[in-house]
């Protein structure tokens, strides 16, 4: 074996060893990534929304291509649907935007169905609120009409009473 062949073979073995070691590191890294998601879940259940959001945002910055990126993105959007006075991120409009973005970014995610359902629920919520506002406006108009008709009725009764008195004389 020539020196060139020996060096070439050594480099190939070195690269193979590095690749094997790198895949082990990625596996460890993936396990750590999963534990970050679990940690965020625990924080959300405890009502520690600010800390959970910090962890999830940092995760998304550090591992945007992670197999757990959709887990983090879903939780960030879901967090905005939690109506809790301790949750400073509660915002249905922003949640809807995040769920729409999620569907575009992660079309193969296991959370896609949940995101679509959340979008439907939030759309129903906003449509219901629009209807409630329209009904309130109609109700106010009807109250004004009733008040106007009541005043006219009172005026007609007074007029009728005055006419009855005039006829009695």
Contact partners, residue 33, CB within 8 Å, separation at least 6: 59, 63, 66, 67, 68
Let me know the angle formed at the C-alpha of 68 by 33 and 40, rounded to the nearest 5 degrees. Answer: 60
Higher pLDDT, 117 or 2: 117
In this predicted model, what pLDDT tens digit does every residue of 64-81 receive, in sequence order? Answer: 999 999 999 999 999 999
Q: In whole angstroms, what is the distance from residue 168 CA to residue 7 CA?
A: 131
Could you list the residue range(s) of the whole structural domain that residue 132 is in? 3-168
- Over residues 39-60, the mean pLDDT reads 96
The pTM (predicted TM-score) of the whole model is 0.69
* CATH number reported for the structural domain that contains residue 94 in this entry: 1.25.40
In this predicted model, what pLDDT tens digit does every residue of 22-40 receive, in sequence order? Answer: 443 344 488 889 999 999 9
Furthest-apart CA atoms within the chain: distance in Å: 141
Domain count, the chain: 1
Q: At what angle do helices 112-168 and 69-79 cross, to 10 degrees?
A: 10
Q: Given a cut of 60, is residue 13 above it in pLDDT?
A: no
Q: In whole angstroms, what is the distance from residue 99 CA to residue 113 CA?
A: 11
């Amino acid at each position: 074996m020539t020196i060139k062949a020996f060096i070439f073979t050594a480099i190939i073995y070195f690269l193979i060893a590095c690749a094997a070691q790198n895949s082990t590191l990625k596996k460890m890294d993936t396990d750590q990534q999963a534990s970050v998601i679990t940690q965020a879940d625990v924080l959300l259940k405890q009502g520690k929304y600010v800390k959970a959001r910090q962890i999830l945002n940092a995760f998304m910055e550090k591992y945007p291509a992670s197999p757990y990126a959709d887990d983090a993105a879903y939780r960030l959007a879901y967090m905005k649907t939690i109506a809790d006075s301790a949750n400073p991120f509660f915002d249905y409009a922003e949640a809807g935007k995040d769920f729409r973005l999620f569907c575009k970014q992660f079309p193969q995610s296991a959370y896609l169905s949940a995101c679509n359902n959340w979008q439907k629920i939030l759309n129903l919520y906003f449509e219901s609120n629009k209807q409630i506002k329209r009904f309130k406006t109609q109700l106010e108009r009807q109250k004004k009409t009733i008040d106007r008709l009541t005043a006219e009725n009172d005026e007609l009764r007074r007029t009728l009473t005055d006419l009855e008195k005039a006829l009695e004389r």
